[in-house]
A and B are shown apart, each in its own frame.
Chain A
Amino acid sequence: MKIAVCVKQVPDTWAEKKLRDDDSTLDREAADGVMNELDEYAVEEALRLIEAHGGEVVVVTMGPERAAETVRKALSMGADAGVHLVDDAFQGSDALATSYALAEVLSGRGFDLILFGSESTDARMSVVPAMVAERLGLPQVTFAQKVNVDGASVSIERLTEYGFDTVEAAMPAVISVVEKINEPRYPSFKGIMAAKKKPVETLTVADAGLDAAQLGLAAAWSTVAQFAARPPKAAGTVVTDEGDGGSKIAQYLSEQKFV
């Protein structure tokens, strides 16, 4: 089985994130880059699937030079090879452009499954897996809290607002995973050493045969007109409990007509 895992380098989960003043895109320099947390779960799931069924895991990313760190992290967890789309022309690409580039690079490589984390911690749109499925005409089995592969078909438990749906599809298919699915492994020392020797294919827009006119900030189908920091919230009232803290909250809620 051949599995692709699409990963994204994002600002550290715990860091304050901000937009750049010049072009209103994410300021990637302002914080350390880490692998998007939910993507670690996707890498882990891919590794578990090939441990059970055999095969290889290829990690795919689109991002600036330093996104190579994120590819390396996945390789040190156990992925076999990497593909890194890196080109200034990608800068500022929206979700539609990103899905275009990923779909083009993923197609024709014989993947049985294409895995994603269900959302990134920076943009939080949760749209790229569905867009890639749409572009490739593949079954979309997303928001998986459980994945089962059986022969040529895959079934998942798709997290819903009321519980979960069981969804079945024939492979190849596009999967996105939620945090509940597993517990990602830490790279071992051996894994980190081995990762240094694993192949990483670096592709520019031209190498990947992509149309530059469909990429980057200028090609985005939506634009940020302006942005501003949220005005700081007016300081509220904070009291220390002297045995009547609960009553004081009740009083406040009553004044605000909540009770």
Chain B
Amino acid sequence: MAEILTVVESANGAVKKVSLELLALAGKLGEPAAVWLGPGYSDEAGAVLAEHGAAKIYVADNADLVDYVVAPKAEALAQIMQTANPGAVLIASSAEGKEIAARLAVKTGSGVITDAVDVAADLTATQSVFGGSTIVQSKVTTGTPIITVRVNSIAPEAAPAAGTRVDVAVDVSEAAKSAKVTDRTVAAKGGRPELAEAAIVVSGGRGVNGADGFGVIEALADSLGAAVGASRAATDAGWYPHQYQVGQTGKTVSPQLYIANGISGAIQHRAGMQTSKTVIVVNKDPEAPIFELADFGVVGDLFSVVPQLTDEINKRKG
């Protein structure tokens, strides 16, 4: 059975959930192997990967991989691919993940598919395109399929495997060390989960009517342990920081639960959230197109509905 390489994403040494999702998917396609690119690998991280199906864990402990933008990671993967000869490479569909895939595709003469929401055993990828309005089945026809997979598309699974550590000495070329990261700035995010990865997202739009209005959105998000999102109308108006924008020009999210408050649901916004599993809508306007996506919707003023909902949830949590 061919090895399926999955690229691990981590934060402060901890394996991100998306990496476990990739391993679960890899398990359907062949023998899952994890690839750790950069410093920070630990036996604890290795145990988590093994627990979720990694038969092998390639560890490329080299600071160059994180000190320079993307190119070194693509080089390292290309080197690992030469020896592992994998059936496919799976990478998270994050901004950086797609760029790694891009360069790796050029380097290895392989086709690339981005934003897959599923991959079948024959390596046919399912993509949800045009803001989720069209479902496409596509397949890489040249080289080793390089597929980036959208976060939250597949549930992680416990599948204990050997997790054999394979240290890889990667050779990073001078050319790949041309864009140096000189500083990292962590924006304050108030302890909420990362928007792109969150299982629950609570968003506000034009109906929130000002920066102050986002207080009720944040309170609801915190009652659910959710991330906060915003429509473009809200970020353009400066009511909420731009990095929280959900939509065609912002982030694409695919959470288990999406609660849209005061958002009309123009294509621009739907493009970023249409594949959410369950959608709740609160909007004053019964004609708002966002109601077409609602599993449950309330026509009403968000400033009375949302605080009541928050209270109820806090009560139920006891």
A residues lining the B interface (CB < 8 Å): 13-19, 24, 37-38, 94-96, 99, 118, 121-122, 124-131, 133-135, 137-143, 155, 157-170, 173, 179-180, 220-230, 233, 236-241, 243-250, 252-254, 256, 258-259
Given contact pairs A125-B114, A222-B140, A225-B139, a sample of 8 additional A-B residue pairs in the complex whose CB atoms are under 8 Å apart: A140-B99, A166-B183, A169-B178, A225-B138, A228-B135, A238-B298, A246-B308, A250-B309
- Residue in contact with B182 in the complex, picked from A142, A167, A226, CB distance below 8 Å: A167
In the assembled complex, B278 has its CB within 8 A of some CB on chain A: yes
In the assembled complex, B159 has its CB within 8 A of some CB on chain A: no
Q: Are B298 and A168 in contact (CB under 8 A)?
A: no
Q: Are B137 and A18 in contact (CB under 8 A)?
A: no
A164–B243 CA distance with the chains assembled, in angstroms: 10
User: Given A127-B102, A131-B106, A245-B298, does the pair A227, B180 have CB atoms closer than 8 Å?
Assistant: no
Residues of A close to B307: CB separation below 8 A: 246
B149 to chain A, nearest CB (A): 14
Residues of B close to A131: CB separation below 8 A: 102-103, 105-106
B residues lining the A interface (CB < 8 Å): 11, 69-71, 74, 94-96, 98-99, 101-103, 105-107, 109-115, 124, 128-143, 145, 175, 178-187, 189, 194, 196, 200, 224, 242-243, 248-250, 252, 256-257, 266-268, 271, 274, 278-282, 286, 291-301, 304-313, 316-317
Residues of A close to B299: CB separation below 8 A: 238-241
A135–B110 CA distance with the chains assembled, in angstroms: 14
A15–B271 CA distance with the chains assembled, in angstroms: 11
Q: Are B140 and A258 in contact (CB under 8 A)?
A: no
- Residue in contact with A223 in the complex, picked from B138, B279, B310, B312, CB distance below 8 Å: B138
Residues of A close to B71: CB separation below 8 A: 133-134, 140
Closest to A224 in B: B138
- Residue in contact with A169 in the complex, picked from B105, B112, B180, B250, CB distance below 8 Å: B180
A116 to chain B, nearest CB (A): 12
A24–B179 CA distance with the chains assembled, in angstroms: 37
Q: Are B300 and A221 in contact (CB under 8 A)?
A: no
Closest to B98 in A: A126
Residues of A close to B105: CB separation below 8 A: 96, 127, 131, 221
A164–B298 CA distance with the chains assembled, in angstroms: 37
A72–B113 CA distance with the chains assembled, in angstroms: 32
A152 to chain B, nearest CB (A): 13
Q: How many A-B residue pairs have CB under 8 A?
A: 284
Residues of A close to B250: CB separation below 8 A: 179
Q: Are B69 and A140 in contact (CB under 8 A)?
A: yes
Q: Are B94 and A161 in contact (CB under 8 A)?
A: yes
Residues of B close to A15: CB separation below 8 A: 267
Please name the 6 residue pairs, one residue from A and one from B, whose CB atoms are nearest each other, closest first. Answer: A241-B300, A246-B308, A221-B111, A250-B312, A127-B102, A246-B309
B14 to chain A, nearest CB (A): 13
Q: Is the interface of B mostly helix, strand, loop or mixed?
A: mixed
Q: Are B136 and A249 in contact (CB under 8 A)?
A: no
Q: Are B136 and A240 in contact (CB under 8 A)?
A: no
B303 to chain A, nearest CB (A): 11
Residues of B close to A95: CB separation below 8 A: 102, 112
Residues of A close to B110: CB separation below 8 A: 221
Q: Are B182 and A166 in contact (CB under 8 A)?
A: yes
User: Given A162-B186, A250-B309, does the pair A259, B224 have CB atoms closer than 8 Å?
Assistant: yes
- Residue in contact with B111 in the complex, picked from A133, A138, A159, A222, CB distance below 8 Å: A222
Q: Are A134 and B74 in contact (CB under 8 A)?
A: yes
Residues of B close to A141: CB separation below 8 A: 69, 179
Q: Are B99 and A142 in contact (CB under 8 A)?
A: yes
13 contacts between A and B (CB under 8 A): A13-B268, A96-B105, A99-B106, A131-B105, A135-B106, A162-B187, A221-B142, A221-B143, A226-B136, A237-B297, A241-B300, A252-B295, A258-B200
B66 to chain A, nearest CB (A): 10
B63 to chain A, nearest CB (A): 15
Closest to B177 in A: A139
Residues of A close to B293: CB separation below 8 A: 233, 236
Q: Are B291 and A130 in contact (CB under 8 A)?
A: no
Residues of A close to B128: CB separation below 8 A: 230
User: Given A127-B102, A127-B114, A259-B313, does the pair A248, B298 have CB atoms closer than 8 Å?
Assistant: yes
Q: Are A127 and B130 in contact (CB under 8 A)?
A: no
Q: Are B179 and A168 in contact (CB under 8 A)?
A: yes
User: Given A167-B180, A222-B138, A228-B135, does the pair A134, B187 have CB atoms closer than 8 Å?
Assistant: no
Residues of B close to A38: CB separation below 8 A: 249
A133–B308 CA distance with the chains assembled, in angstroms: 52
Q: Are B184 and A124 in contact (CB under 8 A)?
A: no
Residues of B close to A96: CB separation below 8 A: 105-106, 111-112
Q: Are A167 and B297 in contact (CB under 8 A)?
A: no
A96–B113 CA distance with the chains assembled, in angstroms: 11
A228–B254 CA distance with the chains assembled, in angstroms: 20
A134–B77 CA distance with the chains assembled, in angstroms: 14
A258–B103 CA distance with the chains assembled, in angstroms: 40
Q: Are B267 and A249 in contact (CB under 8 A)?
A: no
A130–B101 CA distance with the chains assembled, in angstroms: 9
Closest to B298 in A: A245
